[in-house]
A and B are shown apart, each in its own frame.
Chain A
Amino acid sequence: MNSCTERLKNGIITENPTFVMMLGMCPTLAVTSSAVNGLGMGLTTTVVLILSNAFISLLRKVIPDKVRIPGFIVIVASFVTMIQLLLKAYLPFLDSALGVYIPLIVVNCIILGRAEAYASKNSVVPSIFDGLGMGLGFTFGLTCIGICREILGAGAIFGIEFIPDDFHITFFVLAPGAFLVLAFLTAIQNKLQMPSATNVEKDDSLSCGGDCAACTGASCVANKGIIEAERAAAKAAKAQAAKEAAAKAKAAKEAKAAAEKKED
Chain B
Amino acid sequence: MNLFVIIISSMLVSNVVLSQFLGICPFLGVSKKVGTAVGMGAAVTFVITIACMITYPIYYGILVPLKLEYLQTIAFILIIAALVQFVEMALKKFMPSLHASLGVYLPLITTNCAVLGVAINNISDGYNFIESVVCGFCTAVGFLIAITILAGIRERIEYNDVPKSFKGTPIVLVTASLMAIAFCGFAGLV
Query: Nearest-CB distance from B77 to chain A (Å)?
Result: 5
Query: Nearest-CB distance from A53 to chain B (Å)?
Result: 18
Query: Nearest-CB distance from B127 to chain A (Å)?
Result: 14
**Taking the complex as formed, is A232 at the interface, i.e. its CB lies under 8 A from any CB of chain B?**
no
Contacts A70-B78, A100-B117 given; does A183 touch B180 at CB 8 Å:
no
Instruction: Tell me whether B173 and A207 are in contact (CB under 8 A).
Output: no
A5-46 residues with Cβ-Cβ distance < 8 A to B are 22, 25-27, 29-30
Taking CB as reference atom, which chain B residue is nearest A23? B25
B98-113 residues with Cβ-Cβ distance < 8 A to A are 104, 107-108, 110-113
Q: Which of A70, A184, A186, A222 contacts B111 (CB 8 A)?
A: A222
Instruction: Tell me whether B21 and A183 are in contact (CB under 8 A).
Output: no
Contacts A109-B25, A177-B177, A207-B29 given; does A187 touch B108 at CB 8 Å:
no
Instruction: Tell me whether A222 and B110 are in contact (CB under 8 A).
Output: yes
**Taking the complex as formed, is B81 at the interface, i.e. its CB lies under 8 A from any CB of chain A?**
yes
Q: Measured between alpha carbons, how far is A70 from B83 in the docked complex, in Å? A: 12
Q: Which chain A residues lie closer than 8 Å to B71 at the CB level?
A: 81
**Taking the complex as formed, is A80 at the interface, i.e. its CB lies under 8 A from any CB of chain B?**
yes
Q: Number of contacts between A and B (CB, 8 Å)?
A: 128
Q: Which of A57-65, A71-79, A126-134, A237-245 contacts B (4 or more CB under 8 A)?
A: A71-79
Q: Which of B43-51, B128-136, B163-171 contacts A (4 or more CB under 8 A)?
A: B163-171
Chain B residues within 8 Å of chain A by Cβ, number: 49
Main secondary structure of the interface of A (DSSP, over half): helix
Q: Measured between alpha carbons, how far is A22 from B171 in the docked complex, in Å? A: 15
Taking CB as reference atom, which chain A residue is nearest B28? A25
**Taking the complex as formed, is A112 at the interface, i.e. its CB lies under 8 A from any CB of chain B?**
yes
Q: Which of B23, B81, B104, B120 contacts A226 (CB 8 A)?
A: B104
Q: Which chain B residues lie closer than 8 Å to A199 at the CB level?
A: 168
Query: Nearest-CB distance from A45 to chain B (Å)?
Result: 13
Taking CB as reference atom, which chain A residue is nearest B119? A103
Instruction: Tell me whether A176 and B181 are in contact (CB under 8 A).
Output: yes
**Taking the complex as formed, is B184 at the interface, i.e. its CB lies under 8 A from any CB of chain A?**
yes
B7-47 residues with Cβ-Cβ distance < 8 A to A are 18-25, 28-30, 32
Instruction: Tell me whether B113 and A104 are in contact (CB under 8 A).
Output: yes
Query: Nearest-CB distance from A196 to chain B (Å)?
Result: 9
Query: Nearest-CB distance from B141 to chain A (Å)?
Result: 19
Q: Measured between alpha carbons, how far is A207 from B24 in the docked complex, in Å? A: 13
Q: Measured between alpha carbons, how far is A183 from B78 in the docked complex, in Å? A: 34
**Taking the complex as formed, is B1 at the interface, i.e. its CB lies under 8 A from any CB of chain A?**
no
**Taking the complex as formed, is A188 at the interface, i.e. its CB lies under 8 A from any CB of chain B?**
yes
Contacts A26-B24, A73-B81, A190-B167 given; does A183 touch B177 at CB 8 Å:
yes
**Taking the complex as formed, is B70 at the interface, i.e. its CB lies under 8 A from any CB of chain A?**
yes
Instruction: Tell me whether B168 and A175 are in contact (CB under 8 A).
Output: no
Q: Mark A171-197, 1 if CB is under 8 A from B, else 0.
A: 000111111101110111011000000
Instruction: Tell me whether B178 and A176 are in contact (CB under 8 A).
Output: yes
Instruction: Tell me whether B108 and A29 are in contact (CB under 8 A).
Output: no
Q: Measured between alpha carbons, how far is A81 from B30 in the docked complex, in Å? A: 31
Q: Measured between alpha carbons, how far is A105 from B23 in the docked complex, in Å? A: 13
Instruction: Tell me whether A85 and B170 are in contact (CB under 8 A).
Output: no
Instruction: Tell me whether A175 and B18 are in contact (CB under 8 A).
Output: yes
> What are 15 A-B contacts defined by CB distance under 8 Å?
A27-B21, A30-B21, A73-B81, A74-B78, A77-B73, A78-B74, A84-B73, A100-B124, A107-B77, A107-B111, A175-B18, A175-B19, A177-B177, A183-B171, A187-B170
Name 19 extra pairs, CB < 8 A, besides A175-B180, A187-B170.
Answer: A26-B24, A29-B21, A30-B21, A81-B71, A106-B73, A107-B111, A175-B19, A175-B184, A176-B177, A176-B178, A177-B177, A179-B176, A182-B173, A187-B166, A190-B164, A190-B167, A198-B169, A199-B168, A220-B111
